[in-house]
């Protein structure tokens, strides 16, 4: 463990990589009844219930022979998963069906694969190698995937990789040379962009096509726009990995000192303004995956824990311990449309990939309700996300809606024609059959 004032040893930054994208496979999972009860500390009716998450194993598949699982990525369009095996220097290719997994193929790689990303537009898989300092391109959609190109990075110590499928651009963080290779797959041209000290990870925003770089020894994050450096922001801790979800960047950080370390997940907006952070997780977050619709962050720590955080506040959620097989979790990623979690575990003999259905109690999303006017038709919705997704809504007993307005318990729609002016405060509860419900206060101001 290094002192915070001392430069970090470059190879100490190499940790198992995390998921770079997600895959959606059309299916439904019945998960009612998987929750355990949980209530946040505090007494009385106003104590907020702890949001609950539970996992149900649907299928698992083990590698053939010894394996050391590294990064895991999924391709939505072809229903495949790709995981590095850094022990045998190969890519494991999995088919993912509605409720099953199967090992489809293995692809031999170079002598030291470090990271993997997937272009979900052209279904190309890219792998970095820190010995040959190259990028291998694999035809991920083929019945028999193989390496179709090997491209030099032109730099030293290719550590992390990301790909923007819309622009066919690959970003390779070169740890020892403090730069990022920007490689255009279609033309084969590349540019080396200087960045800060010890770039440990890189991720690209699919909406803005801006790349973000975690500069571990620089304790900063920078951006790359096109082929040129963008902004840089000091964050006060060492960033280890980046995950881009919705409109924010989640950063796994650590701050090491003589008495131990502080390990958190911190959130930033696209302009690198800090939005908040988790409590000290007690160990480095080496895998972070987000279900953006359910607003859940899944975190795998280096001591083998699987944790869940709320996406908006990064607060700890209640997780029913999942029935993991095959050892400790090494990597996690999410299938967005089915809310499934894919977990890679290892017992040092084999790597096991397990597909979990995710159940989550409701959480309200969205902002304030619009104002109303006496005699004018009114229609607004309150929305809570959950899995199973069927949510029932109710006004808290004793609370009063504006006269003329009713709440549709199945859709969450508030509708009607207000009859009396005034300011009306009320709470709505949301339930999907789990042991805990969500409750949120709302206000409707009715003008004369």
For residue 174, give the nearest of 190, 162, 157 by alpha carbon.
Answer: 157
* Residue 336 banded pLDDT, cuts 50, 70, 90: confident
The answer, yes or no, to whether residue 40 has pLDDT greater than 50, is no
Say if residue 355 is in the same domain as residue 237.
Answer: yes
Q: Which pLDDT does position 350 carry in this prediction?
A: 82
Helix or strand (DSSP H, E) at 393: strand 392-395
13 phi/psi in degrees, rounded to 5: -80, -10
For residue 66, give the nearest of 49, 87, 97 by alpha carbon.
Answer: 87
Task: Map residue 429 onto helix, strand or coil.
Answer: strand
Say if residue 84 is in the same domain as residue 41.
Answer: yes
Q: Does a structural domain hold residue 170? A: yes
Say if residue 60 is in the same domain as residue 153.
Answer: yes
Q: Does a structural domain hold residue 406? A: yes
Distances (CA, A) of 8 to 160, 219, 238: 17, 11, 10
For residue 177, give the nearest of 162, 192, 190, 161 by alpha carbon.
Answer: 192
Say if residue 260 is in the same domain as residue 396.
Answer: no
Say if residue 256 is in the same domain as residue 384.
Answer: no
Q: Does a structural domain hold residue 274? A: yes
Domain hosting residue 429, numbered range:
366-447
Pairwise CA distance, residues 149 & 161, whole Å: 16
Task: Map residue 90 onto helix, strand or coil.
Answer: strand
**Angle at CA of residue 388, ends 206 and 317, nearest 5°:** 70
Average pLDDT over residues 387-415: 97
HSE, side-chain direction, 13 A CA sphere, residue 404: 17
131 phi/psi in degrees, rounded to 5: -100, -50
Question: Is the peptide bond between 140 and the residue preceding it cis, with omega within 30 degrees of 0?
Answer: no
pLDDT digits 0-9 by tens, 433-444 = 998 999 999 999
Domain C-terminal end among 321, 341, 360: 360
* Residue whose tokens read 């069906």: 97
Q: Does a structural domain hold residue 235? A: yes
Q: Does a structural domain hold residue 64? A: yes
Q: Does a structural domain hold residue 379? A: yes
Length reported for the chain: 448
Domain C-terminal end among 360, 383, 418: 360
The answer, yes or no, to whether residue 11 has pLDDT greater than 70, is no
Instruction: Count the domains in the chain.
Output: 2
User: Does residue 330 contact residue 400 with C-beta atoms inside 8 Å?
Assistant: no
Say if residue 123 is in the same domain as residue 216.
Answer: yes
pTM of the model: 0.86
CA 421 to chain centre: 45
Q: Which of 53-57, 263-267, 393-397 has the lowest mean pLDDT?
A: 53-57
CATH of the domain at 418: 2.60.40.10
Record the tokens describing residue 351, joined without a space.
């790597």
Say if residue 355 is in the same domain as residue 374.
Answer: no
Say if residue 327 is in the same domain as residue 390.
Answer: no
Q: Which pLDDT does position 48 carry in this prediction?
A: 62
Say if residue 431 is in the same domain as residue 285.
Answer: no
User: Does residue 155 contact residue 167 with C-beta atoms inside 8 Å?
Assistant: no
Record the tokens describing residue 341, joined without a space.
């979690």
Strands across the sheet containing 378-381: 378-381, 413-416, 405-407
CATH of the domain at 119: 2.130.10.10
The answer, yes or no, to whether residue 428 has pLDDT greater than 90, is yes
Max avg pLDDT among 96-100, 140-144, 379-383: 379-383
Q: Does a structural domain hold residue 147? A: yes
> What's the chain's Rg over C-alpha atoms?
24
Say if residue 230 is in the same domain as residue 118.
Answer: yes
- Higher pLDDT residue, 14 or 201? 201
Domain C-terminal end among 360, 381, 411: 360
Q: Which of 91-100, 127-136, 184-193 has the lowest mean pLDDT?
A: 91-100
Say if residue 313 is in the same domain as residue 418.
Answer: no
The DSSP result for 260-282, as a single string, is EEEEEEEEEETT--EEEEPPP-S
Say if residue 179 is in the same domain as residue 315.
Answer: yes
Q: Does a structural domain hold residue 2? A: no
Calculated CA dihedral for residues 143, 357, 249, 164, nearest 10 degrees: 10
Residue 11 burial by Cβ neighbours in a 10 Å radius (0-12, 13-18, 19+): exposed
């Amino acid at each position: 463990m290094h002192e915070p004032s001392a430069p970090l040893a470059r190879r100490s930054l190499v940790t198992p990589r995390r998921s770079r994208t997600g895959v959606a496979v059309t299916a439904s999972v019945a998960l009612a009844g998987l929750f355990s009860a949980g209530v946040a500390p505090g007494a009385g009716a106003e104590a907020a219930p702890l949001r609950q998450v539970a996992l149900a194993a649907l299928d698992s598949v083990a590698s053939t022979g010894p394996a050391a699982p590294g990064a895991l990525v999924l391709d939505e369009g072809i229903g495949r998963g790709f995981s590095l095996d850094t022990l045998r220097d190969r890519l494991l290719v999995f088919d993912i069906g509605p409720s099953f997994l199967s090992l489809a193929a293995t692809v031999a790689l170079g002598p030291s694969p470090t990271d993997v990303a997937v272009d979900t537009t052209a279904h190309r898989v890219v792998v970095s190698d820190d010995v040959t300092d190259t990028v291998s391109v694999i035809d991920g959609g083929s019945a028999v995937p193989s390496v179709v190109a090997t491209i030099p990075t032109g730099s030293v110590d290719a550590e992390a990789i990301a790909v923007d499928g819309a622009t066919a651009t690959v970003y390779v963080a070169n740890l020892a040379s403090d730069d990022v290779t920007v490689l255009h797959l279609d033309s084969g041209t590349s540019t080396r962009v200087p960045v800060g000290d010890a770039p440990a990870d890189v991720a690209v925003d699919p909406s803005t096509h801006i790349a973000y770089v975690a500069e571990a020894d620089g304790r900063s994050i920078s951006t790359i726009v096109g082929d040129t450096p963008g902004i840089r922001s000091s964050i006060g801790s060492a960033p280890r990995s980046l995950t881009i979800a919705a409109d924010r960047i989640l950063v796994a950080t650590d701050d090491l000192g003589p008495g131990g370390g502080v390990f958190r997940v911190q959130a930033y907006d696209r302009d690198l303004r800090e939005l908040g952070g988790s409590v000290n997780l007690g160990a480095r977050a080496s895998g972070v995956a987000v279900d953006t619709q359910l607003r859940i962050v899944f975190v795998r720590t280096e001591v083998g824990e699987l944790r869940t955080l709320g996406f908006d506040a990064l607060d700890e959620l209640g997780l029913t311990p999942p029935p993991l097989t095959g050892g400790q979790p090494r990597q996690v990623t999410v299938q967005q449309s089915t809310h499934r979690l894919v977990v890679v575990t290892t017992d040092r003999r084999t790597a096991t990939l397990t597909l979990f259905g995710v159940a989550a109690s409701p959480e309200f999303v969205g902002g304030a309700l619009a104002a109303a006017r006496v005699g004018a038709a009114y229609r607004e919705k309150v929305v809570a996300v959950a899995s199973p997704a069927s949510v029932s809504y109710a006004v808290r007993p004793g609370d009063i809606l504006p006269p003329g307005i009713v709440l549709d318990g199945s859709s969450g729609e508030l509708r009607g024609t207000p009859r009396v002016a005034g300011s009306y405060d009320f709470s709505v509860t949301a339930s999907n059959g789990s042991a805990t419900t969500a409750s949120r206060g709302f206000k409707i101001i009715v003008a004369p």
